[in-house]
Chain A
């Protein structure tokens, strides 16, 4: 007997992820089709293969991967879905590369509401479309309740570097300029404002954004003058500069007065006993640039919407100790050290 079998659509509104959604059967196929394919739709996903096949134009290919375990899943200015797209695009872009394709792997906790999952997938699709970087292949697993925290997402990205460009962490040289693309700490403080036990009122939203457009403008303006770029996510600008100091065997000298910090972020940090230099960003980059290219790059950044507040915040110096030092706004000097453990609020 042939004929159409009646299939009920997923009850997105009230349904929850259960173990059958990861079991490889019909339920899993339905979840993938009605949640993920709907949201992320593109020609590669539509072919329904376990992998995506595509040609790459010649040049050096870069590849990166990143896991997203943010809590809360939804925060002012984004959610885990958009973050998983932006974060990986940015890691590709920091090589000066043009991001081309993404993959996404979801680990779902049994009992997670389908409505929330749909919201995350839709946000991911919107972010990918807006950035022009499609999610071309993916995977879904379901784990028992208590074995995950709602949703974990891993994304992998690949891209191609323009010919002649070779950015790398060991290339900072004394005399180079350090440019920051905008205000620091927005993402971390926006997230913290929604944490349990800590909710405070703020208009602040995460800066989560794809930076490849800004990077393309910088590459065009600065070319080989670009030494290294990195997005200061976890650990903030302080961690990023300490990593680069180690990798390039140099020191940094920052000027605190030049650091762009929003008043709301400064106020929240004051309240919580945090230092914005250590707070996470998701739409900012730090670039080390040869002094003769710095002015052109800075101008190109300021002409881009994501680099409006870009500023030269310091310079690379010769230092066997590989210290990141800062002239404080007060006129004294201090070290900007690695963070010890997690940045915990002070009590007094």
Chain B
């Protein structure tokens, strides 16, 4: 039991993050001050939110490559709404962002569920379509800081008990997701459907429907992050969060989510995202060019997927018992 705990992905990742922090702290002690660690967490919050949604999708043997485009489109819509009607309260904007994101997730989900199109094709397609729509509705223009209302920009930065709202949202979603995946029937269905679709059908689960809801959850979180992203950086344009979908998948793979479905945990996903977040924030501190980041996250994906495969490799079934015996 203890050996299993120590070799689990969560323990390994916690160890790796701790080691990283110790190495950085040995030369730049200011990096591990609680205030800075909190800001690293805050900076990683969008990645954590998207990675949790992606986890649900990957658990059901799908993949969602449209999350970054979904985020950017939702962000642009709420930013334009705010620029046009600054009086709309933040609560309405939040609901709208989640709803719009969920709607885009449902489009992916319907195509996968009802038309049986491979998820990678669907989301590659919707990824370009969503990005294109941003250009069409914005005409390629930016929504800049001065066009957004003060309340719109202040929301994710407002501090409660010393932590910004963005961090609190991430913490809330992590807790809710942990509970949801462990206790809710739909959360368990994600695991069952990905672990063995045939068995899931025989236990009365609808595989396509579980996948549909996984995409919807992923879309809703992308929409929520869309508003938070745009208001935090106080700018919206066509290319925001370009290529972010790969970082999200990377966080999941590093967090031990098996791309073959059915294996993964909320804790692992969060740690995977934090691992990338610490690296990203540490690079400028230890004076490494940010251009290294892409190659580092690529290497991290490859190492993580190799470890995932080793952990889940099953021994072949013995068919010819007699042939096996002499050896």
Is this pair of chains taken from one and the same complex? no
Q: Which residues of B contact A (CB under 8 A)?
A: none
